[in-house]
Amino acid sequence: MIVLTVNGQEQRFDGDPSMPLLWYLRDTLGYTGTKFGCGMSLCGACTVHLDGAAMRACVTPVAAAEGKQVTTIEGLSADVSHPLQKAWQTLDVAQCGYCQTGQIMQAAALLGTNPNPSDADIDNAMAGNICRCGTYTRIRAAIKLAAGQQGGAA
């Protein structure tokens, strides 16, 4: 039996410990905000936090989350009031939106360790998250807006 905490709620998993965390979150717990993109940790659509650090749920086995805190986009803010979520809405960042939960979770991990990132810091932290629509300029602007920096407009 694997015990982990997901979005503040203790969960118990009695299945295959090598099952990707992504499938447990989506199919068993119903947290569908975390998306399947590539299945190989290359695109970032499945980004969640494990004890506050960004990680790819598609290649992380449930066993790796045992005894840890997992946060999905649903756990970032129940009422969409997180500064990043507000900035995303204010700047109308998303186009198709598919990658955006992974983008926001990656950005939240960045701001958790660096509350005042430079453009280079943002670019480096976000490099593993792919946006097929190419909204990178708006993503950077939203991160800066959420960080309280000026120049949030894209």
Residue 154 pLDDT greater than 60, yes or no: no
CATH number at residue 65: 3.10.20.30
The answer to whether residue 51 sits within a structural domain is: yes
Q: Binning pLDDT at 50, 70 and 90, where does residue 153 land?
A: very low
Residue 65 lies in a domain: yes
Model pLDDT, residue 78: 83
Mean pLDDT, range 126-137, rounded to an integer:
94
Domain boundary pick from 76, 106, 134: 76
Do 98 and 113 share a structural domain?
yes
At 40-72, the pLDDT tens digits run: 999 999 999 999 999 999 999 999 999 999 999
Q: What is the pLDDT of residues 90-108, one digit of tens each?
A: 999 999 989 999 999 999 9
**Domain edge (last residue) among 76, 102, 127:** 76
Name the pTM for this structure.
Answer: 0.93
pLDDT tens-digit map of 74-87: 999 989 999 999 99
In a domain, 132, yes or no: yes
pLDDT band at 152 (very low <50, low <70, confident <90, very high): very low
Give yes or no for residue 151 having a pLDDT over 70: no
Instruction: Give the pLDDT confidence score for residue 68 in this predicted structure.
Output: 98
Mean pLDDT, the chain, integer: 94
User: Are 62 and 113 in a shared domain?
Assistant: no
Half-sphere exposure of 102 (CA within 13 A, CB side): 27
